Amino acid sequence: MIEYDSRSWLSIVFRLRGSVLPRLLPRILMTMAVGAFASWAYAEHKFRVSPLAHTLIGAALGLLLVFRTNASYDRFWEGRKLMGAIVNRSRDLARQVATYVDDPPLQRDLRRQIVAMVALINQILRHETDLTALGDRLTEAERQRLAGLKPRHIVVARWIGSRLRQLADSGKLTEIRLQLMDANLTSLIDSLGGAERIMKTPVPFAYAQHIKTFVLLFCFTVPFAMAEAARWYTPVASGLLAFALFGIEEIGIEIEDPFGYDANDLPLDAILSTIEANTAQVIEDAGKGTAEESETS
């Protein structure tokens, strides 16, 4: 995701990274070529098309594009809310570990597995499977156990749950606290389920096909409707119109699946780094508190 100052007009307008313009250029140039042909056809043969049809169709096309963009942004924002829930539940689970578990080495190990679980969630959303990319978030033994498995995040959640259950069985963790911590694990799994719903449910094909066809026909025929008024400026006017209409549709395509590596996708790596840093600080502070309590006693 690109961070920017919304008040800095020039830096936004002239920035190519994150813009859909590079992907639009072939379509814009094709539309301008049609515009040049329409200018020649009018100049030589007075051929033109009545602008009435395009005026009426343009209103319907505008509504379709607005709906398309809103549908895509809803998916983007829902994805951001789900990732926010993952951040919140991970932090809270680390807080519970730091508060309810009295064994510092176990605290650090549980925190590592929480971060590993979120990292595995990110891999699922990005269709990745390389466990070595998780680095020291997994031990070599854990990496071997997860190799070949698909619901890896659920397996790690089970590991965490089993260790918490063992604490409860030994009387070191009350049943109520165990339930609270298990609820956070369940919430993490539920958040991934919501994100997978977005990832695996594209905009219906019939709708995507219809709007693409509609925009294409409109942009490639409108030069003949504006040739009489625009004359030799028709290619420029056609190119600007193509940039506007194709651009809106392309933005919708880019943000409808917000979990990849596109410039406008959600910053999953930054979110994971935030979780990793926050949970580490929580556990570290708990260790300091335990040391201070021991000195006081």
The residue with tokens 């219809």 is 210
Tell me what pLDDT residue 2 has: 78
What are the tokens at 276? 């990793």
User: By three-state DSSP, how is residue 80 classified?
Assistant: helix
| Residues 192 and 85: beta-carbon distance below 8 Å | no
The Cα-based distances of 112 to 29, 262, 271 in angstroms read 52, 28, 16
Tell me what pLDDT residue 51 has: 84
Tell me the pLDDT of the chain (297 aa) as tens digits. 777 777 887 888 888 888 888 999 999 999 999 999 999 998 888 888 888 888 888 888 888 888 888 999 999 999 999 999 999 999 999 999 999 999 999 999 999 999 999 999 999 999 999 999 999 999 999 999 999 888 899 999 999 999 999 999 999 999 999 999 999 999 999 999 999 999 998 888 888 899 999 999 999 999 999 988 888 999 999 999 999 999 999 999 889 999 989 888 999 999 999 999 999 999 998 877 655 555 554
Buried b (16+ CB within 10 A) or exposed e, 88-115: ebbbbbbbbbbebbeeeebbbbbbbbbb
Amino acid at 59: A
- Distance of alpha carbon 95 from the chain centroid: 27
Tell me what pLDDT residue 292 has: 56
Predicted structure pTM score:
0.87
CA–CA gap between residue 28 and residue 34 (Å, rounded): 10
| Residues 227 and 46: beta-carbon distance below 8 Å | no
Tell me what pLDDT residue 4 has: 74
Q: What DSSP line would sit under 187-205, residue for residue?
A: HHHHHHHHHHHHHH-PSPH
Handedness of CA 186, 118, 162, 155 (dihedral sign): positive
Question: Which alpha helices (H) appear in the chain, and where do they start and end?
Answer: 9-13, 21-45, 51-100, 104-125, 140-146, 152-169, 175-200, 205-230, 234-255, 268-296
Residue 272 phi, psi (nearest 5): -65, -40
Q: What angle do CA 71, 75, 81 make, to 5 degrees?
A: 140
